[in-house]
Structure 1
Amino acid sequence: MSQGPLVLPPDYGDWLASLKQRIQSARSRAVLAAHSEQIRLYHSIGCDILERQRQQGWGAKVINRLSTDLREAFPEMKGLSVSNLKYMRRFAEECPNLQIGQQLADQFPWFHVVTLLTKVADPTVREWYAVQALDEGWSRSTLEKQIKNHLHDRQGAALTNFEQRLTQPQADLAVQVLKDPYHFDFLGLGDEAQERDIEGALVRHITHFLLELGGRVCVCGPSGAAGGGGGDEFFIDLLFYHTRLKCYVVVELKATAFKPEHAGQLNFYLSAVDAQMKAEDDLPTIGLLLCKTKNQLVAEYALSGMEKPMGVAEYELVRALPEPLDRSLPSIEEIEAELSRELEGEI
């Protein structure tokens, strides 16, 4: 006897969605708990190694033997290599209270901790990156890239009129979102590149561009039309919506030195976006003018006369690779194969 079509209860969809959310939340909590236990275990092992070395004076060969013995005892367990045991010792030495500055280290996956320890020598700068990584939810690769690109030196460095044109807390948040200079070496263009070449390359490499913009940005599109009245249309270079600032961001590219008229043009575009696109609950649109170079005093004078909130920053298409923050520290790539990215987070 054939059965008729399955008739689901009226609330089945809502119930299923609720179950999915609960399962996902439980899985996320389990992952976080596993990370926390791993970090605390590694810290305790590091403390033991550090204390015994201090008391007994033994060297690296004992760590080699310890790695062999632990691997034999726990063949299924990853992270017991000589390299990783040395990282544990260093972790215990530099973070005796299980904290990176004021941040609890067990909030991070192990590879984030190793990256912070090996890539950043200054404890104050290390804590800055730890805070940013937590706030922005950076992956390990993003954390490495931001450290390599010296984000702490560039964040909040753009010249703006935000304090005069925006209310708090948007003004402070907007200042911290912008940086100077912006690094566009991922585009593969030379210094002779024209504006449209740069704009097109930024769109093609939009993921890298969004990371350089600071994340939490939605792409609204390149070359957006801003009506000027009377049937005229003017085209902005790039338009974004920043989910943290809750406002549109207009980006204008100039493959030349900054000129005062650039600020006037951007001011017009911001007025058009506010009038035609900004919703009632959106905060005022902000502008970012990216120039090849700028005269600081000229830019300050120009921004002071603008009605709309905007910032001016330089960009670099070609730059020398930055020097490591600590040349004497081992690189993260020296971790052995069993500490590969695929095994990140396992105990």
Structure 2
Amino acid sequence: MNKRVSPIGKADGTTFENLAERVKNVHNATSSVAKGAVNQLLTIRNWAIGCYIVEYEQEGRDRAKYGARLLQNLADKLSIKGLDRSMLSVCRLFYIRYPQICETASHKLEMIDRSRDSINTVSIRNIEKKRNDEICDSVNHKFITPPDVLLTYLSFSHIREILSIDDPMERFFYELECIKGTWSVKELHRQIDTKLYFRSGISKKPELVLQRVEKGGVNAILSVKDAYTLDFLDLDAKDAFSETELEQAIMNHLQEFLLEMGKGFCFEARQKRIIIDDEYYFIDLVLYNRLLHCNVIVELKVGKFRIEHAAQLNAYISYFKDCEMVDGDNPPIGILLCTGKGPKMVQYVLNGMDEKLFVSTYKLQLPDKQQLENFLIKEVKEMGL
């Protein structure tokens, strides 16, 4: 009698451990595919819900009856777990901001609904051309993530994070980098919170900023930014302001400032008084990084970098290392924030210094969008989208 041959590979002579491993592998592989399919359908469902809501708002015969309470009334009528008024609002926004999904959504829904009542899928098909026209009118084709790529690599939880962004180019940036870096939803939220888009825009080499992000963990924390965006301070770069006013503006927006500095930063002191050789000195800001377990000394300058700035900050770092460190602390880090710097001068001044001293610039306005646009075009070509 002939042995039965497995359709998925030879099983003769397998051990129990092999059997368990093969079962685990096929389970993981199929579960992953199934999960991806469910995520895609959930995303398409939410887009279709948004489609129906907008279509009703525009053409519903009794729409005037519900007015501003449409979404709440609809949520009450549906009584479906997860589809409350807030979620219906998100679905509506999703439909409006992602018109390119129309063809893919209508095709997949039609396949599912083919054996049943197809009124809903026909409804989507009927507005497909109009939505394609809207894509042409409202979105630059260079910055559209292909719908199949979007649905395959981003869950709706990812998309929901990105939906809060008004600028289409900024949304595209986070879509692209999220796919490229396989970010979790939590990581995506953190990068949006810390304005990765703007940090990349103001950097002369945005690819280096993104490389630091991709490394993750403590290595990313140790990478002090070359430039910080402090637009939230409400200071105009054209106006004359003092270091004291800059410092006060930071204190007024302390939460935003700590987020811009990076992960794990906590505020410790302002204008901290220290004594060196019987003279008083005052450190602008003292932070502590709970992940690096060290103090971060921040000095603020309203002008360009000068040699004496580095000497001053180096003295403060040495003082903290000698007098302020406690058990469990790592050596302190110093960050000098100024409006401009000559890279060669900074290199020469810092050369040979043992301390962790960084010179960074800050900008009070958002970066030129053309620089970001050029960078995104390059990213798209490299990813083959």
Q: TM-score, normalised by structure 1?
A: 0.60
C-alpha distance in structure 1 between counterparts of 2:53 and 2:246, whole Å: 55
Instruction: Report SS of the residue matched to 1:315.
Output: strand
C-alpha distance in structure 1 between counterparts of 2:275 and 2:75, whole Å: 71
Unaligned runs of 5+ in 2: 1-35, 62-70, 106-146, 207-216, 374-385
C-alpha distance in structure 2 between counterparts of 1:244 and 1:233, whole Å: 31
Counterpart in the other structure of 2:231? 185
Q: Do the aligned residues in 1 keep the contact of 2:202 with 2:367 (CA within 8 Å)?
A: no
Matched, 1:125 2:180: no
Q: Do the aligned residues in 1 keep the contact of 2:201 with 2:367 (CA within 8 Å)?
A: no
Matched, 1:111 2:163: no
- Offset from partner CA, 1:16-36 (integer Å, 9 cap, x none): xxxxxxxxxxxxxxxxxxxx9
Counterpart in the other structure of 2:43? 43
Higher helix share: 2
C-alpha distance in structure 2 between counterparts of 1:219 and 1:38, whole Å: 44
Counterpart in the other structure of 1:143? 192
Q: Which amino acid aligns with 1:64?
A: E
Matched, 1:209 2:263: no
- Offset from partner CA, 1:156-207 (integer Å, 9 cap, x none): 979xxxxxxxxxx9666311xx223222232223332111111122112211
Q: Do the aligned residues in 2 keep the contact of 1:245 with 1:283 (CA within 8 Å)?
A: yes
In the TM superposition, what is the alpha-carbon distance from 1:267 to its structure 2 partner? 0.9
Instruction: Report SS of the residue matched to 2:330.
Output: coil
Counterpart in the other structure of 1:56? none
In the TM superposition, what is the alpha-carbon distance from 1:307 to its structure 2 partner? 2.1
CA distance 1:144–1:218, change in 2 (3 Å): closer
In the TM superposition, what is the alpha-carbon distance from 1:73 to its structure 2 partner? 10
In the TM superposition, what is the alpha-carbon distance from 1:63 to its structure 2 partner? 7.6
Q: Do the aligned residues in 2 keep the contact of 1:39 with 1:109 (CA within 8 Å)?
A: no
C-alpha distance in structure 2 between counterparts of 1:215 and 1:173, whole Å: 6
Q: Do the aligned residues in 2 keep the contact of 1:217 with 1:242 (CA within 8 Å)?
A: yes
C-alpha distance in structure 2 between counterparts of 1:285 and 1:197, whole Å: 26
C-alpha distance in structure 2 between counterparts of 1:99 and 1:257, whole Å: 44
Alignment length (residue pairs)? 258
C-alpha distance in structure 2 between counterparts of 1:206 and 1:94, whole Å: 41
In the TM superposition, what is the alpha-carbon distance from 1:84 to its structure 2 partner? 3.5
In the TM superposition, what is the alpha-carbon distance from 1:296 to its structure 2 partner? 0.7
**Which of 290, 294, 297 is matched with 1:243 structurally?**
290
CA distance 1:131–1:287, change in 2 (3 Å): farther
Q: Do the aligned residues in 2 keep the contact of 1:157 with 1:180 (CA within 8 Å)?
A: no
Q: Do the aligned residues in 1 keep the contact of 2:194 with 2:262 (CA within 8 Å)?
A: no
Matched, 1:257 2:283: no
Q: Which amino acid aligns with 1:42?
A: L
Q: Do the aligned residues in 1 keep the contact of 2:43 with 2:151 (CA within 8 Å)?
A: no
Counterpart in the other structure of 2:325? 278
Matched, 1:221 2:269: yes
C-alpha distance in structure 1 between counterparts of 2:184 and 2:325, whole Å: 29
Matched, 1:196 2:212: no
Q: Alignment identity in percent?
A: 22
C-alpha distance in structure 2 between counterparts of 1:62 and 1:240, whole Å: 49
CA distance 1:217–1:262, change in 2 (3 Å): same
Q: Do the aligned residues in 1 keep the contact of 2:231 with 2:363 (CA within 8 Å)?
A: yes
Q: Do the aligned residues in 1 keep the contact of 2:301 with 2:337 (CA within 8 Å)?
A: yes
Unaligned runs of 5+ in 1: 1-35, 50-59, 159-168, 327-347
Q: Which amino acid aligns with 1:146?
A: K
CA distance 1:226–1:87, change in 2 (3 Å): same
**Which of 64, 83, 88 is matched with 2:55 structurally?**
64
C-alpha distance in structure 1 between counterparts of 2:317 and 2:205, whole Å: 22
C-alpha distance in structure 2 between counterparts of 1:272 and 1:307, whole Å: 14
CA distance 1:201–1:129, change in 2 (3 Å): farther
In the TM superposition, what is the alpha-carbon distance from 1:312 to its structure 2 partner? 0.7
- Offset from partner CA, 1:79-129 (integer Å, 9 cap, x none): 2765444567756725455423xxxx26x3652143479533255434478
Q: Which has the larger radius of gyration?
A: 2
Q: Which amino acid aligns with 1:120?
A: R
Instruction: Report SS of the residue matched to 1:283.
Output: coil
CA distance 1:75–1:312, change in 2 (3 Å): same
Q: Which amino acid aligns with 1:179?
A: K
Counterpart in the other structure of 1:268? 315
Instruction: Report SS of the residue matched to 1:255.
Output: coil
Higher RCO (Cα < 8 Å, 6 or more apart): 1
- Offset from partner CA, 1:248-298 (integer Å, 9 cap, x none): 100011122111221111111111111222223222211101112111100
**Which of 233, 236, 245 is matched with 2:280 structurally?**
233
C-alpha distance in structure 2 between counterparts of 1:293 and 1:233, whole Å: 28
C-alpha distance in structure 1 between counterparts of 2:333 and 2:243, whole Å: 21
Matched, 1:290 2:373: no
Matched, 1:99 2:99: no
Q: Do the aligned residues in 2 keep the contact of 1:264 with 1:306 (CA within 8 Å)?
A: no
Q: Do the aligned residues in 2 keep the contact of 1:289 with 1:313 (CA within 8 Å)?
A: yes
Over the residues paired in the alignment, what is the CA RMSD in angstroms?
4.3
